[in-house]
Structure 1
Amino acid sequence: MHLTSIARLGALAAALLGAATVCGNAGAHQIWLEQKGQAAHVYFGEFGDNLREASPGQLDKFRIQSATWIAPSGSKPLQANKTAGAFVLNGKVAAGESIIVEENAYPSWEEKKDGKATRTVWIPAARLVADGKAQAPALALDLVPTGKPGQFQVSYKGKPLAEAKVNAVVQSGWGKEAWSDAQGLVSFPLPWKGTYVLEVQHTDKTAGQRGAEHYDKAMYVTTLSLVQPQGVAPLPAGPALPPSKDHD
């Protein structure tokens, strides 16, 4: 083995000391944000599996009508332009800023059990930050940095959400999970240099109405994307998985 490889493995072992590694096999899709040059891109798929849905295909189930740029000085709406592989937003983030996206029109579905039908709505959302400066929650289910390295806060409808499982993953598939405390706080080691996507889920079993549609429960999935400027050089992402073929 080359000396450079031995050194790399030593650095890797040190970075992962005490951390759990898991494959990025999420049970359901997510949306997440990445900054590409002068624009932010909204992807649908599974970041840790290097899966991005496309159009024509599953990406066409989205409309992305709510996208907002947030800064200490104020906020403004952003426009989303759908391309073959993502929605491109006319905005980017700098220090202390965020971009948030929430999809409120994804098709609902019905499940039947013991003769009872239950209708569920799925509300995916995403936040992109440029650094770890503290941010205020703005999404129904939100995950924001607190200003302390590796610390984040989960909130639901503006209040801290306890006992929420948060997953942090990088594109190579490395991941770690943690649970929020009574104040909604959760902390992660971020050993790798590069992009992380953190995900939190919450199901509200309170019946409600979306437009003219009544539902029995709402499933929220929110991601937070950030770039760690320092750390161990990231392992390469696995081969890109093909987009789903069905359009149902």
Structure 2
Amino acid sequence: MKKWNILLLTFAISLMTTGAFAHAIWIETANTGQIGKAQTVRIYYGEFVDGERDSVAKWYSDIKDLELWLVGPDQKKIKLKTTAAANYYEAKFTPGSNGAYTLTISHQAKELGGETKYHFLASADVTVGKPAGKSTVFVNSLQLQKSEITSAQVNKQIMLKASHNNSDAAKMKVSVFSPNGWSKELTTDTTGSVSFLPPFPGRYVIEISDMDKTAGEHYGKPYQETWSGATYSFEVK
């Protein structure tokens, strides 16, 4: 009986771990904005490729306590107020000048999945007017980004740049998810770059993940590894 209970516990932990790995947070907002006009931003948690957006009440651990930050053209970082709805958190900001705006989230879940710590990250860009130069701003420890996001079009090559701990995220796996269930697995090159041709219009979510085998302690509990998953979301016309 004792052996059977241990097996059941191991299986339960495995299911919990698998569920947390499969899920992600992502940001949805329009690619472009206007000076003086409020921009709506929504944060979801679930399985984008399956059209699954979990109700806020069922979000894993303390993910609902995440913080949403905005980096403007002046590179100043501002925390945005979020309000809970049925299955998302919503925020608004009003651009005060032309330029590139980056929305970012970085949240380490309080609860461990077995001996694994989970780090959820997300980002999205908003272009206002015609910003000068490249808009790429890396503010998270693991992040994907594309400059000139307004140029995203069906069957037109999209180039993304990945960063990991302020360095090029070379030879890392990247997953591309489309609005209709189509997906593609890619690998970044030695400079952290990766590209793909979007076959359909609509919102895409790109995900990159990393497993760090460094052990440590989190909220008084020991862990053996840290899983980090970062998403980048944008619309394709």
Residue 78 of structure 1 deviates from its aligned partner by 1.2
1:81 corresponds, among 77, 83, 103, to 83
Do residues 71 (structure 1) and 65 (structure 2) align?
no
- Tell me the CA shift for residue 95 of structure 1: 5.4
CA–CA separation in structure 2 for the residues paired with 1:65 and 1:43: 11
8 Å CA contact 1:150–1:189 kept in 2: the answer is: yes
* Percent of residue pairs identical: 24
Post-superposition offset of 1:27: 6.4
CA distances 1:92-150 after superposition (whole Å, capped 9, x unpaired):
7885211001222342122xxxxxxxx11111111111359531211111111145961
Could you tell me which residue of structure 2 aligns to residue 191 of structure 1? 199
Query: Structure 1 residues 65, 57: closer, same or farther in 2, change over 3 A?
Result: closer
2:110 counterpart of 1:109: no
Q: Which amino acid aligns with 2:179?
A: Q
Aligned to 1:96: 100
Letter in 2 for 1:203: M
Structure 2 counterparts to residues 200-239 of structure 1, below 5 A: 200-229=208-237
Q: Distance in 1 between matches of 2:148 and 2:188?
A: 16
After TM superposition, the structure 1 = structure 2 runs for residues 6-17 of structure 1, keeping only pairs within 5 Å, are none
| Unpaired stretches in structure 2, ≥5 consecutive residues | 1-19, 31-37, 150-156
2:169 pairs, out of 161, 179, 182, with 161
With over 3 angstroms needed to count, the CA separation of the structure-2 counterparts of 1:138 and 1:213, relative to structure 1, is farther
Report the 3-state secondary structure (helix = DSSP H, G, I; strand = E; otherwise coil) of the residue aligned with 1:63. Answer: helix
TM-score (norm 1): 0.70
| Secondary structure at the counterpart of residue 189 of structure 2 | coil
TM-score calculated relative to the size of structure 2? 0.73
CA contact (8 A) 2:105 2:123 kept: yes
Q: Which structure is higher in helix share?
A: 2
- Looking at structure 2, the residues matched to 212 and 156 of structure 1 have their Cα atoms a distance apart, in angstroms, of 27
Structure 1 unaligned blocks of 5 or more? 1-25, 111-118, 230-248
The answer to whether the Cα contact below 8 Å between 1:92 and 1:99 also exists between their aligned partners in 2 is no
State the one-letter code of the partner of 2:117: V
